[in-house]
Structure 1
Amino acid sequence: MTGQVLKSKLVNFLVADAEVNYGNVDDLYSMAEAGDVDALGDVLEAFKEAYGGLWVGGKMELTQKMVRLSANAMNRLVQDGTLDIELPLAFIRKVTIEGGFMTKIIRLDTGAGSVKFRCFGAKDVAALIEKTIHSPTRQA
């Protein structure tokens, strides 16, 4: 990603096509003696069906041109699917805050759909994204 990072934040972002890599998770469960991975799988599949995807832990970076969401190393180990999202600010039509448990959810609406991520300080992050979108110095 090019350009100066205006804001970097630890986040979880919702990924519709995220899949658990059960081979790697099973290995981790065995090493940690953490129990039955099948029980975890049932919970995650129910969650994915109910919410339209799985939350992926990682980082958000905002520049003058885009919002980038990228998965952390642990999530790359245990999940497959879209683990990096680059969303040009020019594509964002609306920035909204949704409720959430412990953290609020930032929803970025585009003509093709929505991108959601959650973090502490979500209201301030959403305001900065909105301000950056409307900044006269933003590079197209």
Structure 2
Amino acid sequence: MSAPETTTTTALMPMVIGEHRIAVEALSVLEILGPQQWVAIPNTPPMLPGALAWRGRAVGVLDLGPALDLPTLSAPSTRNRNAILQLTDDTVALSVDRVLEVCRAAADAIAPVHAASWVVDGGLPCRGEIELDELVVPILDLDAWAVASRRAR
């Protein structure tokens, strides 16, 4: 008798910003908040325009608008939902319009970035893309983005 075949899966949290869908690894999501007040910080990169208060500390507000050719955030209000994400060395608030239900994806269903290359071209590293509800959804690699943004400072 052979051992049962195991399939590695990844939990993904799809989100909507404007007309775009993106996904992040669900295990990086610490909390989902509604609209938040935030403060702009001068001389910061367009995708990290300021900070908001979360659990007694300031976390960076990540705005994907510039990378997706969407309107940017204007202080003091974020978009409708804010996913607090734990990166390797940072915690950020990703401001989006909607957060969708977590889904499981087989590791072999995650393809190299091809159809979603527009996201990478906009400055957002992706670890791959997956088809969800007949849409190709890029899976953001926010740790790679954080490393690149630290180097750019």
* TM-score (normalizing by structure 2): 0.30
Name the one with the larger strand percent.
2
Q: Flag the structure with higher helix content.
A: 1
Q: Provide the TM-score with structure 1 as the length reference.
A: 0.32
